[in-house]
C-alpha cells in the first residue's frame, strides 16, 4: 500500500502556487467579453450552473486537446493512453465513458459505433468555452438530445466579433515543441454584412509522438532491481481540420451554418509489455459533418430553435504485423439529425418547452458476417421551469423511442433480419434555493434517471455483440451549494462550490468471456455500480497591486465507486464485490494558479490522481500508483506595428514524473511547447 | 485564504504520494496438509489478460501444503517487465521449466528448482511446446515475414536445441497451429485457422521428426485445438467448433490404423489424460441458444465413450464460473480445476480428490491455466 507522504507534495504545490503571480478573471469580465452575437436564451439563468473554462483561463492550462483541459473539472476521470495521438476518453462521476454526451456548438457529436468520443481528437485551437454539466444543462430551451446523457460537455467554438470598425480578423498560431510537434493553425473572420459573419479555421498537426519513458522497480530496501528507459514508438499523428461557419443575426434571433472536416492518420502505440517495446497498428479517421441552427423569438412568449446535422465518419484500423492476426477493417457511419425546440412563456417566471428530435444512424463495415445495423431514434422532451421568489425549479421528462434493424448471421451464411425496439421514459428534477437575498449562497439539488443505449458494437459487432442487450441505467442524486461573492479588497472574488452525490448504475454493459477458445468476449448487462462522491471547487481572485492580478482555482473530488456486480465474489479484500471500480481513484484534484502583470502571464497547474486499482479486486497485484504532474507556462504579449503578438513557453510535467494513467501505457515525462500567436 | 491552506493541508494528509514500485513479494499460504509422493509440487501458469503483462507463476508445494502466488518477479528481480504478456503453455523438461509467453513472443526458460531465468527463445506468437530427444518443438501462429499483398499467415513448428536454446529448424504447417504431440517419431500438430474466420482449418499436420518435413495431413474437424496421445497409440483431438452450428467435439485418431476411430459429442475447453481417463472441462457459449453449457466430463480411452458428465460430486461446480483448465496429479489422482471467472479478476484453483470431493481451493493470478508437475519424471500438462 501507498505510504502517506503528504508534505512533500503539499509544499511543492503550495510553494509554486504562492510564489507565482497571476492575473484574475472575474465573472463580470467574462460577461463583458461575451461576443457580439449574444444568445438571447441565456438570459434565463440555469438552475445549476456549469463548471466552465473559457478564454484566458483555458489558454492558461497548457492543454493540447480538449481532453487535457477537461481534467481540471471536478468529478472527471480521464482515460489517457498517452502521447499526442493517444486516445483520451472521459468518465464523469465514475458512470463510464459512454454516459458522457459531448456537444459541439450545440449539437451532439455522435459515435453510434462505440459511443465514445475521443476528446484527444478535438484541439483547443478554436475552442472558446468548455462547459461541463452533471446531469444535464438545467435550461429548458434546448433540443431533446441535451436531456439524454448522464453528463454533458459543451464545446463552443469562437464566434467572430469585430472591434473599432474592423471588417476582418486574422489569427495565426504556430505551436512546436516536444514529440516533434509542428502545429500551425489559421483563423480568418470576415464581416459579410451588418448581420452576417464568416469564420474560416484550419489546423494541421504533425508529430512523431516519440518520447522517453521509464519503468523501474526496487527491492523493498530501496535498492534498484531493474530500471529501463525506452522511446515510445508508433505514436505519430498527422491530422488536418477544416472548419467554416456562417453566423447570422436576426431581429429577435440568430442562425448559423457550419461545415467540419477532419482527416487523420495515426499510430496506435499499444501496451508496453515484456519483450514488446513497439507496436505497429495504425488508424485512419475521416469525419465530416455539416450542421445548422436557427433560433428566433416570435412575439413575447414563443421561441423556436431548430437544429439539423448530417455526419459521415470513416475509420480504418490496420494491424500490419504479420506475426499477429492481420486485420484491415474499415467502418463507415452516417448520421442524420433534426430537432425542434419550442419554448412558451406562460408567465414571466414560468416557461414550458417541448422538443422533438429525430436521428438516423447506420454503420457499415468490412467485417465478415457484419450486421450492418440501422437505428432510428425519436426523442421527445417536455420540460418546465419556474422561478418563484428565491426558488428556481426545472422538471423534465424525456421519451426515447429507438428502433434498430440489423442482419443476424449464423456462421456460414444463413441470414435473417432482426429488429429491436426500446422505449423509455426518464425524468429529471433540478432545484435551487437562495436562503436569503443578502447572502450570495445557493443550495441546489437534482435527481435524474437516464440510460445509455447499447452501442452498435455492443449489440452487433461480429462475434462479440449481443443483440439481447438492454439499456444501461443510471440514477443520479445530487445535493450541493454554491457561494459566490465579490469584494473590493485584496480578495476580489471567492467562489465555493460543493456537491455530494450518489449514482446507481444498473445493467452496466460489461464484456464477459465466452469460454472455449481464447479471448472471445461478449457483452452482457451484468454490472452494478454504486458511486458516492464529493466534489469541492474553490475559485478565488486577488488584486496584488495595481495591474497585477492573481487567481487560484482548487478542485478536489472524493469518490467511493463500488462494484456491486457479483455478490458471490466476496472474499475479503480480493473479492470484487464492493471493491473500488477499476481506475477510479479515491482522491483526485487539481490546483491552477495564474498571475498577470502588465504584458506577462504566468500559469501553474497541478493535477493529482490518487492511488487506484486496475481491477475491482483491490489486491496488491492490481495496485496502480498515484500520479501528479506540475505544469508551468509563461506568456509575453506585445504589439508589432498593427499586429498583436504573444509568445508562450510551456513546460509540462516539470518534475519529470514517469507514470501510467492506464497500466502499461507510459505517459511522457517532462516536455516543452512553444506557442506563437499573431493577430491582426 | 487560511481556510484554503488548511483545507489543502488536511487533504494532503489523507492522500498519498507516489513511491518507487517494489518487486512483488510472493504471497504464501497454507492450503492443505503435506503429502509425500514422488510428485513434489506443481507450477501453475496464469495467462493474464492481453495487454496486461500479468502472466504470473504460482507454485504449490505438496510436501508442505503451501501455495505461493506470483513467484517469478521475486526469483528474477532483474528482468524488466517480469514474465510477460499472456502465458499459453508450461512444461518441464530435464531440470528446466519452459513457459510459453504468447504475446511476449518468447519461451521463458527457467530452472525448475529455483524458478531462476536461464534464458529465452524468441518465437513470435508461440503457442504450445513438446519435447523429444533433446529438442523442443514449439508451434507458432506467426508465418514467415514477407512483403506480399496476398500474404497468408501459415504457421510453423520451431525446432529448438534445448542445450543452446537456439532455433535450429522450422517446418511450415497449417494456419494457426495450436496443440502438438509426438508419437513414434512423428509430430502431430492441430491446425486451428483461428485467424481465418469463418474459413477455419480442419486438419492435423503430420511431421516426420527425422526429416522435419510435413508428410501429410489428417482431416478431422474445424478449428482444432489440442492433440494428446493416450498410452495405446491413439490421438485425442479436440475441435473448438465454429461457435455457431458446429459445436466443440472430441475426436480419436489411431496412429497405427491411420484413421479416425471415434467422434464424441463432448465439448472441450481443456483436457488432460491420466491413465485411461481423459478429464475434460468445458464452458461453451452458443450463439444459437444464447447460453453457456458447462461440463466436467471423463472419457474412457478404451471404451471411447464418455463415462460421466460431471466428475465433481459434492456440488462445488455451482461456485465455478468459468472452468478453464484441468489437471490430474499422476500419483494421488487429485483433480485440479481452475476458474478463470471473467478473465480480468483473479482466478481460483480448486483441488478435488479422485472421487470429485473438494479438498481445498485458493486464489490464483489472472486466468490460471497451465500446470507442470514437479517430480521424478517431471510430468507436464
pLDDT in tens, B164-201: 999 999 999 999 999 999 999 999 999 999 888 788 99
In B, which residues are within 8 Å of A9 by CB distance? 12, 15, 17
Specify the 3-state DSSP secondary structure of A530: strand
pLDDT over threshold 60, residue A17: no
Specify the pLDDT at position B335: 98
Contacts with B122 from chain A: Cβ below 8 Å: 275
- State which residue of chain B sits closest to A496, comparing Cα positions: B4
Per CATH, the number for A8-31+41-679 is 2.40.170.20
Order of all β-strands in the sheet with B96-101:
B87-93, B96-101, B106-111, B117-122
pLDDT for the residue A61: 78
Per-residue pLDDT tens digits for A527-565: 999 999 999 999 999 988 878 899 999 999 999 999 999
Q: Which residues of B touch A272 (CB under 8 A)?
A: 53, 81
Q: What pLDDT does A160 receive? A: 93
Highest mean pLDDT: which range of A37-41, A413-417, B74-78 = B74-78
Helices and strands in chain A: count of H runs, count of E runs: 5, 34
Name the minimum distance, in Å, from the CA of B379 to any CA of chain A. 25
**What's the pLDDT score for residue B1?**
56
- Cβ distance A153 to A135 under 8 Å? no
pLDDT for res A45 = 66
Neighbouring CB atoms inside 10 A of A580's CB total: 22
Residues in chain B closer than 8 A to A619 (CB atoms): 346
CA distance A400 to chain B (A): 27
- A-chain CB neighbours of B20 within 8 Å are 216-218, 222
Q: What pLDDT score does A26 carry?
A: 34
Task: Please judge whether A587 and B79 are an interchain contact, meaning their C-beta atoms are less than 8 angstroms apart.
Answer: no
Across B27-32, average pLDDT: 96
Q: Is residue B156 pLDDT above 70, yes or no? A: yes
Percent of chain A with pLDDT over 70: 91
Cβ–Cβ pairs < 8 A, chains A and B: 247
Q: Report CB contact under 8 Å: A324, B125.
A: yes
Inter-chain residue contact B244 with A589, CB threshold 8 Å: no
Q: pLDDT (tens digit, 9 = 90+) per residue, A263-318?
A: 999 999 889 999 999 988 999 999 999 999 999 999 999 999 999 999 999 999 99
Confidence of residue A36 (pLDDT cuts 50, 70, 90): very low
Neighbours of A381 (CB within 10 A): 27
Convert B350-378 to b/e letters by CB count within 10 Å (16 or more is b). Answer: bbbeeebebebbbbbbbbbbbbbbbbeeb
Q: Which of B14, B283, B287 sits opposite A516 (nearest CB)?
A: B283
Q: pLDDT at position B366, please?
A: 95
What pLDDT does residue B9 have?
Answer: 63
Residue in A326, A516, A619 closest to B346 by CB: A619
Place of cell 470576415: A190
Distance from CA of A217 to the nearest CA of B (A): 5
Is the predicted pLDDT of residue A42 greater than 90, yes or no? no
Identify from A273, A512, A658 which residue to disrupt to test chain B contact, counting B C-beta atoms within 10 A and taking the largest count: A273
* pLDDT single digits (tens) B270-329: 999 999 999 999 987 766 666 678 999 999 999 999 999 999 999 999 999 999 999 999
CA gap A331, A114 in Å, rounded? 11
Q: Which residues of A touch B73 (CB under 8 A)?
A: 217
**Residue A547 has what pLDDT?**
81
Mean per-residue pLDDT, A592-603? 92
Our CA angle for A183, A184, A187, nearest 5°, is: 135
ipTM over 0.85: yes
φ, ψ (nearest 5 deg) of residue B231: -85, 5
Query: Are B345 and A569 a contacting pair at CB < 8 A?
Result: yes
Q: How far apart are CA A213 and CA A614, in angstroms?
A: 20
Q: How far apart are CA A266 and CA A316, in angstroms?
A: 11
The reported pLDDT for the residue numbered A33 is 36
Is the pLDDT at A88 greater than 70? The verdict is: yes
With beta carbons under 8 A apart, name residues in chain A contacting B343: 513, 519, 521
| B56 close to B38: Cβ distance less than 8 angstroms | no
Of B11, B241, B246, the CB nearest to A556: B11
Residue B333: all three cell numbers together = 489422482
Task: Tell me the per-residue pLDDT of A614-640, one tens digit each, with 9 for 90 and over.
Answer: 999 999 999 999 999 999 999 999 999
Q: What is the pLDDT of residues A230-241, one digit of tens each?
A: 999 999 999 999
A576/B241 touch (CB, cutoff 8 Å), yes or no: no
Q: Is the pLDDT of residue B12 over 80?
A: no
Chain B residues touching residue A589 (CB < 8 angstroms):
11
Report the residue of A518, A534, A558, A662 to disrupt the B interface, i.e. the one with the largest count of B CBs within 10 Å.
A518
Residues contacting A431, CB < 8 A, separation 6+: A47, A391, A392, A393, A394, A444, A445, A446
Scanning the structure block, which residue is given the C-alpha cell 493470478? B365
Question: CB-CB: which of B50, B153, B322 is closest to A515?
Answer: B322
Q: State the pLDDT confidence band at A24, using cuts at 50, 70 and 90.
A: very low
pLDDT at B149 over 60: no
Angle between helices B2-14 and A6-19 (to 10 degrees): 150
When CB atoms are compared, the residue of B194, B245, B345 closest to A576 is: B345
SS (H, E, C) chain B: CHHHHHHHHHHHHHCCCCCCCECCCCEEEECCCCCCCCEEEEEEEECCCCCCCCCEEEEEECCCCEEEECCHHHHCCCCCCCCCCCEEEEEEECCEEEEEEHHHCEEEEEECCCCCEEEEEECCCEEEEEEECCEEEEEECCCCCCCCCCCCCEEEEEEEECCCCEEEEEEEEEECEEEEEEECCEEEEEECCHHHCCCCCCEEEEEECCCCEEEEEEECCCCEEEEEECCCCEEEEEECCCCCCCCCEEEEEECCCCEEEEEECCCCCEEEEECCEEEEEEEEEECCCCEEEEEEEEEECCCCEEEECECCCCCHHHHCCCEEEEEECCCCCCEEEEECCCCCCEEEEEEECCCCCEEEEEEEEECEEEEEEEECCCCEC
Average pLDDT value over all residues in chain B: 92
What span, in angstroms and rounded, lies between the C-alpha atoms of B349 and B360? 8
Three-class SS of residue A55? helix
For residue A124, give the DSSP letter.
S
A413-469 pLDDT tens trace? 556 777 888 999 999 999 999 999 889 999 999 999 999 999 888 888 877 778 788
pLDDT of residue B14: 59
Domain ranges of chain A: 8-31+41-679
Report, as an integer, the average pLDDT of A512-526. Answer: 66
> For B315-373, what is each residue's pLDDT tens digit?
999 999 999 999 999 999 999 999 998 888 999 999 999 999 999 999 999 999 999 99
B36 to chain A nearest CA, in Å?
30
Whether residue A11 has pLDDT greater than 70 = no
Of A491, A515, A574, the CB nearest to B363: A574
Closest CA to A135 of A70, A47, A213: A47
Q: Do A217 and B23 touch (CB under 8 A)?
A: yes
In chain A, residues with a C-beta closer than 8 Å to the C-beta of B153 are 322, 325-326
Which among A572, A584, A610, A468 has a CA at the least distance from the CA of A529? Answer: A584
Q: Which of A468, A516, A522, A609 should we substitute to test contact with B (largest number of B Cβ atoms within 10 Å)?
A: A516
CA distance A527 to chain B (A): 12
The answer, yes or no, to whether the previous bond of B198 is cis (omega within 30 of 0) is yes
Q: Rounded to whole angstroms, how far apart are CA atoms B368 and B379?
A: 18
For chain A, give percent helix, strand, coil, nearest 5.
10, 60, 35
The answer to whether the CB atoms of A587 and B14 lie below 8 A apart is yes
Please check whether residue A363 is in contact with residue A373, taking contact to mean a CB–CB distance below 8 angstroms: yes
Residues 6+ apart with CB under 8 A from B302: B232, B276
* Model pTM score: 0.90
Say which range, A326-330, A396-400, B35-39, has the weakest mean pLDDT.
Answer: A326-330
CA distances from residue A636 to A176, A445, A648, B353 in whole angstroms, order as listed: 17, 43, 7, 77
- Whether pLDDT at A23 is above 60: no
For B292, which residue in chain A has the nearest alpha carbon?
Answer: A514
Q: What is the distance between the alpha carbons of residues A26 and A33, in angstroms, rounded to a whole number?
A: 11
More confident residue, A42 or B142: B142
How confident is the model over A501-512, as pLDDT tens digits? Answer: 999 999 988 777
Amino acid at each position: 500500500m501507498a505510504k502517506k507522504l503528504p508534505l512533500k507534495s503539499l509544499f511543492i504545490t503550495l510553494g509554486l502556487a504562492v510564489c507565482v503571480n497571476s492575473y484574475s478573471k472575474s465573472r463580470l469580465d467574462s460577461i463583458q467579453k461575451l461576443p457580439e452575437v449574444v444568445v438571447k436564451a441565456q438570459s434565463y439563468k440555469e438552475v445549476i450552473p456549469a463548471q466552465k473554462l473559457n478564454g484566458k483561463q483555458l489558454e492558461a492550462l497548457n492543454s493540447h486537446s480538449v481532453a487535457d483541459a477537461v481534467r481540471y473539472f471536478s468529478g472527471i476521470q480521464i482515460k489517457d493512453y498517452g502521447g499526442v495521438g493517444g486516445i483520451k476518453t472521459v468518465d464523469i462521476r465514475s458512470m463510464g465513458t459512454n454516459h458522457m454526451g459531448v456537444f459541439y456548438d450545440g449539437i451532439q457529436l455522435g459515435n453510434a459505433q462505440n459511443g465514445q468520443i475521443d476528446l484527444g481528437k478535438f484541439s483547443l485551437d478554436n475552442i472558446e468555452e468548455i462547459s461541463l454539466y452533471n446531469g444535464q444543462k438545467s435550461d429548458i430551451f434546448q433540443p431533446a438530445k441535451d436531456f439524454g446523457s448522464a453528463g454533458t460537455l459543451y464545446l463552443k467554438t469562437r464566434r467572430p466579433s469585430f472591434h473599432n470598425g474592423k471588417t476582418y480578423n486574422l489569427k495565426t498560431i504556430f505551436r512546436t515543441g516536444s514529440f516533434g510537434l509542428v502545429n500551425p493553425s489559421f483563423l480568418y473572420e470576415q464581416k459579410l454584412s451588418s448581420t452576417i459573419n464568416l469564420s474560416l479555421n484550419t489546423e494541421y498537426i504533425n508529430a512523431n509522438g516519440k518520447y522517453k519513458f521509464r519503468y523501474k522497480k526496487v527491492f523493498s530496501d530501496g535498492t534498484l532491481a531493474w530500471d529501463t528507459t525506452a522511446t515510445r514508438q508508433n505514436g505519430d499523428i498527422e491530422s488536418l481540420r477544416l472548419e467554416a461557419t456562417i453566423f447570422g443575426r436576426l431581429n429577435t434571433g440568430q442562425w448559423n451554418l457550419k461545415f467540419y472536416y477532419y482527416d487523420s492518420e495515426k499510430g496506435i502505440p499499444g501496451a508496453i509489455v515484456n519483450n514488446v517495446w513497439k507496436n505497429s497498428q495504425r488508424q485512419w479517421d475521416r469525419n465530416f459533418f455539416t450542421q445548422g441552427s436557427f433560433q428566433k423569438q416570435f412575439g413575447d412568449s414563443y421561441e423556436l430553435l431548430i437544429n439539423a446535422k448530417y455526419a459521415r465518419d470513416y475509420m480504418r484500423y490496420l494491424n500490419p504485423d504479420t506475426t499477429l492476426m492481420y486485420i484491415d477493417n474499415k467502418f463507415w457511419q452516417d448520421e442524420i439529425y433534426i430537432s425542434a425546440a419550442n419554448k412558451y412563456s406562460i408567465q414571466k417566471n414560468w416557461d414550458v418547452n417541448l422538443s422533438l428530435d429525430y436521428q438516423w444512424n447506420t454503420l457499415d463495415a468490412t467485417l465478415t458476417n457484419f450486421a450492418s445495423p440501422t437505428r432510428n431514434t425519436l426523442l421527445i422532451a417536455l420540460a418546465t421551469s419556474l422561478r418563484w421568489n428565491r426558488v428556481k425549479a426545472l422538471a423534465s421528462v424525456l421519451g426515447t423511442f429507438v428502433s434498430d434493424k440489423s442482419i443476424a448471421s449464423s456462421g456460414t451464411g444463413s441470414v435473417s433480419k432482426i429488429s429491436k425496439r426500446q422505449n423509455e421514459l426518464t425524468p429529471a428534477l433540478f432545484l435551487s434555493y437562495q436562503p436569503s437575498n443578502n447572502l450570495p449562497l445557493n443550495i441546489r439539488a437534482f435527481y435524474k434517471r437516464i440510460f445509455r443505449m447499447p452501442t452498435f458494437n455492443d449489440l452487433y459487432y461480429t462475434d462479440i455483440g449481443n443483440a439481447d442487450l438492454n439499456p444501461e441505467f443510471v440514477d443520479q442524486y445530487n445535493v450541493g451549494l454554491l457561494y459566490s461573492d465579490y469584494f473590493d479588497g485584496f480578495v476580489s472574488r471567492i467562489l465555493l462550490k460543493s456537491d455530494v452525490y450518489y449514482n446507481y448504475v444498473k445493467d452496466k454493459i460489461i464484456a464477459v468471456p465466452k469460454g472455449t477458445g481464447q479471448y472471445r468476449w461478449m457483452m452482457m448487462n451484468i454490472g452494478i455500480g454504486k458511486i458516492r462522491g464529493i466534489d469541492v471547487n474553490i475559485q478565488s481572485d486577488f488584486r496584488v497591486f495595481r495591474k497585477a492580478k492573481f487567481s487560484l482555482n482548487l478542485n478536489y473530488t472524493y469518490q467511493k465507486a463500488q462494484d456491486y456486480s457479483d455478490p458471490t465474489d466476496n472474499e475479503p479484500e480480493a473479492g470484487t464485490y464492493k471493491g473500488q471500480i477499476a481506475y477510479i481513484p479515491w482522491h483526485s484534484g487539481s490546483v491552477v494558479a495564474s498571475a498577470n502583470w502588465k504584458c506577462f502571464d504566468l500559469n501553474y497547474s497541478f493535477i493529482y490522481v490518487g492511488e487506484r486499482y486496475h481491477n475491482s479486486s483491490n489486491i496488491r497485484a492490481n495496485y496502480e500508483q498515484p500520479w501528479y504532474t506540475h505544469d508551468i507556462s509563461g506568456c509575453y504579449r506585445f504589439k508589432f506595428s498593427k499586429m498583436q503578438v504573444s509568445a508562450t513557453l510551456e513546460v509540462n510535467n516539470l518534475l519529470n514524473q514517469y507514470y501510467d494513467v492506464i497500466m502499461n501505457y507510459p505517459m511522457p515525462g517532462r516536455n516543452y511547447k512553444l506557442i506563437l500567436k499573431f493577430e491582426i | 485564504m487560511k481556510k484554503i491552506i488548511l483545507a489543502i493541508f488536511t487533504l494532503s494528509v489523507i492522500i498519498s504520494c507516489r513511491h518507487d514500485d517494489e518487486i512483488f513479494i510472493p504471497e504464501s499460504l497454507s492450503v492443505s496438509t503435506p503429502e509425500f509422493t514422488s510428485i513434489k509440487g506443481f507450477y501453475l501458469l496464469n495467462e493474464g489478460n492481453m495487454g496486461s503483462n500479468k502472466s504470473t507463476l504460482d507454485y504449490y508445494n505438496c510436501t508442505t501444503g503451501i501455495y505461493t502466488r506470483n513467484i517469478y518477479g521475486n526469483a528474477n528481480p532483474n528482468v524488466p517487465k517480469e514474465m510477460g504478456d499472456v502465458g499459453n503453455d508450461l512444461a518441464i523438461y530435464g531440470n528446466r521449466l519452459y513457459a510459453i509467453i504468447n504475446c511476449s513472443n518468447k519461451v521463458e526458460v527457467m530452472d525448475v528448482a529455483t524458478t531462476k531465468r536461464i534464458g529465452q527463445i524468441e518465437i513470435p506468437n508461440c503457442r504450445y511446446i513438446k519435447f523429444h530427444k533433446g529438442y523442443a518443438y514449439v508451434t507458432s501462429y506467426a508465418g514467415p515475414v514477407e512483403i506480399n499483398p496476398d500474404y497468408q499467415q501459415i504457421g510453423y513448428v520451431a525446432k529448438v536445441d534445448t542445450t543452446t536454446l537456439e532455433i535450429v529448424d522450422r517446418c511450415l504447417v497449417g494456419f494457426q497451429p495450436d496443440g502438438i504431440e509426438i508419437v513414434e517419431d512423428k509430430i502431430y500438430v492441430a491446425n486451428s485457422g483461428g485467424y481465418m474466420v469463418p474459413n477455419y482449418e480442419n486438419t492435423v499436420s503430420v511431421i516426420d521428426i527425422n526429416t522435419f518435413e510435413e508428410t501429410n495431413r489428417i482431416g478431422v474437424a474445424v478449428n482444432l485445438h489440442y492433440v494428446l496421445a493416450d498410452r495405446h497409440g491413439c490421438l485425442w483431438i479436440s475441435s473448438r467448433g465454429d461457435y455457431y452450428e458446429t459445436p466443440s467435439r472430441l475426436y480419436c485418431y489411431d496412429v497405427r490404423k491411420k484413421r479416425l476411430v471415434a467422434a464424441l459429442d463432448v465439448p472441450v475447453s481443456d483436457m488432460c489424460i491420466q491413465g485411461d481417463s481423459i478429464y475434460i472441462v468445458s464452458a461453451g457459449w452458443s450463439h444459437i441458444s444464447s447460453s453457456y453449457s458447462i461440463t466436467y466430463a471423463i472419457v474412457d480411452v478404451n471404451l471411447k465413450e464418455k463415462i460421466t458428465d460431471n466428475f465433481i460430486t459434492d456440488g462445488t461446480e455451482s461456485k465455478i464460473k468459468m472452468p478453464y483448465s484441468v489437471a490430474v496429479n499422476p500419483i494421488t489422482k487429485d483433480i485440479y480445476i481452475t476458474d478463470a471467472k471473467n478473465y480480468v479478476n483473479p482466478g481460483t484453483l480448486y483441488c478435488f480428490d479422485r472421487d470429485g470431493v473438494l479438498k481445498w481451493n485458493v486464489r490464483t493470478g489472472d486466468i490460471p491455466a497451465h500446470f507442470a508437475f514437479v517430480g521424478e519424471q517431471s510430468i507436464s500438462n
